[in-house]
C-alpha cells in the first residue's frame, strides 16, 4: 500500500530531528461547497494547497512540500520525488471553470482560436497520475500541432483546462498581430451556442420521457385504446363474472392478464397482473374473483377519468 504524502514527509523530517508544521489558513465558499487552504512549513520552505476537505488539503500541501524538497536536492522517495505544479482547487465543472481563470473556459477559447485561424484542433492526453486515491494529482498534455504544454491538477478536466490556458496564452502572445481581431467574449458566446445546439440535437434523438403532468394511472394507456377499453367495460353485462369482464377489457386495451399465487398467513393470496404496463398493474385479493373485481374497479375509474378528460 502506497504511503500518503503526510506519512512520507513525516518520515523524511524525522531524519533531521524536525517535524513539518501544518495550518489551515483559509476557508471559502458556501458550506456545501467549502474550499480549505492548508499551509505546510518544513526545512525553511512554505507551500499552500487547497481542496474541498481539510484532509485532502493537508495531504496536498504535504505532497507539494515533498516536490519542493526534491527540487531543493533532498532525497525524496518516488513517486513524490518528481516536482509537480500546484494543483488548483476544484471549483465546479472542469470543462467550464479552471481555478484562477474566473468563469472562462480556456478549452473553449483555444478551440475557437484554432477554428478561426485554421490551426490544428487541440488534443488532450492523460500523461499520468500520482498520489493516493483520496488525493490524486493528474497530469494532462494539451497540444496544438507541434506546440504542447503539460499541466497538473486534482481532476483530469481541471488539468486539461490549465494546459489549454497555457497554450492559449502562448498562441495569443506569439501570434498577437494575426489574432488582434479575436474577441474572447464573442468566441465564448459562439462556443456556448454550439454547445446548446448539440444539447438540443441530443435531446431530439433521446427517447421521449413520460409526461409527469399526467396521473400515474394513465401512463400505461394510449389515447387510441381508451375508447376501446371503455366500450369493452360498458359492453359487459351487469351480472357478468368479474374475471370474464376483466379478460375482455384487457384484450381491448392490448394488455395480457396473468394470474399468480402468493403464499400468505392463513392461506394463499391471488395476484392479477396486467402486462405490459408502466407502472406495473397488480391487484391482490383472497380469491380470483375478488382480485378481478379490484382490477375492474381500477379500470372503470381510470376510464371514467379519461372520458371526462377527452370531453
Tell me, yes or no, whether 115 lies in a domain: yes
SS (H, E, C) the chain: CCCCHHHHHHHHHHCCCCCCEEEEEEEECCHHHCEEEEEEEECCEEEEEEECCHHHHHHHHHHHHHHHHHHCCCCCCCCCCCCCCCCCCCCCCCCCCCCCCCCCCHHHHHHHHHHHCCCCCCEEEEEEEECCHHHCEEEEEEEECCEEEEEEECCHHHHHHHHHHHHHHHHHHHCCCCCCCCCHHHHHHHHHHHHHHHHHHHHHHCCCCCCCCCCHHHCCCCHHHHHHHHHHHHHCCCCCCHHHHHHHHHHHCCCEEEEEEEEECCEEEEEEEEECCCCCEEEEECCHHHHHHHHHHHHHHHHHHHHHHHC
Provide the residue range defining the domain that includes 56. Answer: 5-71
Identify whether residues 124 and 200 lie together within a single domain. Answer: yes
Tell me, yes or no, whether 89 lies in a domain: no
Tell me, yes or no, whether 90 lies in a domain: no
| Domain endpoint, select from 52, 71, 90 | 71
Using CA atoms in the order 301, 304, 308, 311, what is the torsion angle rounded to 10 degrees?
150
Tell me, yes or no, whether 150 lies in a domain: yes
| Domain endpoint, select from 28, 46, 71 | 71
Identify whether residues 182 and 224 lie together within a single domain. Answer: no
Identify whether residues 111 and 197 lie together within a single domain. Answer: yes
| Domain endpoint, select from 163, 181, 205 | 205
Tell me, yes or no, whether 87 lies in a domain: no
Closest CA relative to residue 108, chosen from 167, 32, 21: 167
Identify whether residues 221 and 295 lie together within a single domain. Answer: yes
Look up the pTM and report it. 0.38
Identify whether residues 197 and 111 lie together within a single domain. Answer: yes
Identify whether residues 192 and 221 lie together within a single domain. Answer: no
- Give per-residue burial for 273-283: e unless 16+ CB within 10 Å, then b: bbeebeeebbb
Closest CA relative to residue 133, chosen from 265, 1, 295, 289: 1
Identify whether residues 199 and 290 lie together within a single domain. Answer: no
Compute the distance between CA of residue 284 and CA of residue 295 in angstroms, rounded to an integer: 9
Identify whether residues 183 and 264 lie together within a single domain. Answer: no
Identify whether residues 35 and 113 lie together within a single domain. Answer: no
Query: CA 50, 140, 183: angle at the middle one, nearest 5?
Result: 85
How many domains is the chain built from? Answer: 3
Identify whether residues 120 and 192 lie together within a single domain. Answer: yes
Per-residue pLDDT of the chain (311 residues; tens, 9 = 90+): 568 889 999 999 998 899 999 999 888 777 777 788 899 999 888 888 888 888 888 988 898 899 888 888 888 887 777 555 444 444 333 443 333 334 468 898 899 888 888 888 999 999 888 777 766 788 889 999 888 888 888 888 888 988 898 888 888 887 767 777 787 778 877 877 777 777 677 666 666 555 544 444 554 454 444 555 556 666 655 556 888 888 888 877 778 888 888 887 777 888 888 877 766 788 888 888 898 888 888 877 776 655 554 44
Cis peptide before 79 (omega within 30 of 0): yes
Tell me, yes or no, whether 80 lies in a domain: no
Identify whether residues 270 and 233 lie together within a single domain. Answer: yes
Residue 31 belongs to domain with CATH number = 3.30.160.20
Identify whether residues 225 and 257 lie together within a single domain. Answer: yes
Tell me, yes or no, whether 88 lies in a domain: no
Residue 267 belongs to domain with CATH number = 3.30.160
Tell me, yes or no, whether 174 lies in a domain: yes
Amino acid at each position: 500500500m502506497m504511503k500518503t504524502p503526510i506519512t512520507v514527509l513525516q518520515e523524511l523530517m524525522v531524519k533531521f530531528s524536525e517535524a513539518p508544521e501544518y495550518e489551515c489558513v483559509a476557508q471559502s465558499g458556501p458550506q456545501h461547497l467549502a474550499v480549505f487552504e492548508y499551509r505546510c512549513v518544513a526545512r525553511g520552505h512554505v507551500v499552500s494547497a487547497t481542496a474541498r476537505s481539510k484532509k485532502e488539503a493537508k495531504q496536498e500541501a504535504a505532497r507539494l512540500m515533498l516536490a519542493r524538497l526534491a527540487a531543493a536536492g533532498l532525497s525524496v522517495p518516488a513517486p513524490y520525488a518528481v516536482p509537480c505544479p500546484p494543483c488548483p482547487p476544484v471549483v465546479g465543472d472542469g470543462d467550464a471553470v479552471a481555478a484562477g481563470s474566473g468563469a472562462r473556459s480556456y478549452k473553449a477559447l483555444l478551440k475557437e482560436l484554432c477554428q478561426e485561424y485554421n490551426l490544428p484542433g487541440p488534443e488532450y492526453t492523460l500523461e499520468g497520475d500520482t498520489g493516493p486515491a483520496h488525493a490524486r494529482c493528474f497530469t494532462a498534455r494539451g497540444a496544438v500541432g507541434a506546440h504542447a504544454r503539460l499541466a497538473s491538477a486534482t481532476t483530469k478536466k481541471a488539468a486539461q483546462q490549465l494546459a489549454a490556458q497555457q497554450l492559449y496564452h502562448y498562441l495569443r502572445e506569439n501570434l498577437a498581430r494575426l489574432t488582434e481581431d479575436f474577441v474572447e467574449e464573442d468566441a465564448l458566446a459562439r462556443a456556448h451556442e454550439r454547445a446548446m445546439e448539440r444539447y438540443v440535437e441530443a435531446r431530439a434523438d433521446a427517447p421521449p420521457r413520460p409526461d409527469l403532468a399526467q396521473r400515474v394511472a394513465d401512463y400505461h394507456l394510449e389515447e387510441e385504446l381508451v375508447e376501446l377499453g371503455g366500450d369493452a367495460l360498458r359492453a359487459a353485462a351487469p351480472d357478468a363474472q368479474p374475471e370474464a369482464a376483466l379478460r375482455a377489457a384487457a384484450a381491448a386495451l392490448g394488455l395480457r392478464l396473468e394470474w399468480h399465487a402468493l403464499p400468505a398467513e392463513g392461506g394463499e393470496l391471488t395476484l392479477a397482473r396486467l402486462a405490459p404496463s408502466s407502472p406495473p398493474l397488480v391487484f391482490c385479493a383472497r380469491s380470483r374473483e375478488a382480485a378481478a373485481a379490484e382490477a375492474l374497479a381500477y379500470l372503470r375509474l381510470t376510464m371514467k377519468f379519461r372520458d371526462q378528460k377527452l370531453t
